[in-house]
Every structure is written in C-alpha cells, then in structure tokens.
Amino acid sequence: MTVSPVVASIRKEILIDAPPTDAWDALRDRGAIHQRLVPGFVVDAWLDGGDRIVTFFNGLEARED
C-alpha cells in the first residue's frame, strides 16, 4: 500500500496600493526585504552567495537558499 503525503497550504489575498511593476520590483529585490517589503518585522537582510541571511525583529536569524 502506498500512502501519498498530505500537503497543506495557506492562501491569503492582500490588496496592495502600488502599480504591479513596483510590487514585482520590490519582490525581486532579495537583499532589501527589510527596507521594501517588511520593515520592522525583518530588521536586516543580506546576500551571501546564493543564500539570503535574514534577521527578524526578535533577533532570530535564518539562512534561505
């Protein structure tokens, strides 16, 4: 018997008062999420090769590849 994994997802729609080109430009700017997308929640972000290092408001750091 083969059991398929269950995959969950959450979807949330957010209205943004910005032209689509500006919104996509901010999303593509991987090293500046702390300035352009989530200031205050993310306090620092920088690129290390292909990885992004993110520091959250509570001091937690995460490395994303």
pLDDT digits 0-9 by tens, 14-25: 898 999 999 999
Count structural domains, the chain: 1
pLDDT-derived band at 5, boundaries 50, 70, 90: confident
Q: Does 48 have pLDDT greater than 80?
A: yes
Q: Phi-psi region for residue 40, left (φ > 0), alpha (ψ -120 to 50) or beta? A: left
Q: In terms of Cα–Cα distance, which of 29, 33, 31 is closest to 48?
A: 31
Structural domain for 53, as ranges: 31-64
Residue 55 lies in a domain: yes
Whether 60 is in a domain gets the answer yes
The model's pTM is 0.72
**4: in domain:** no
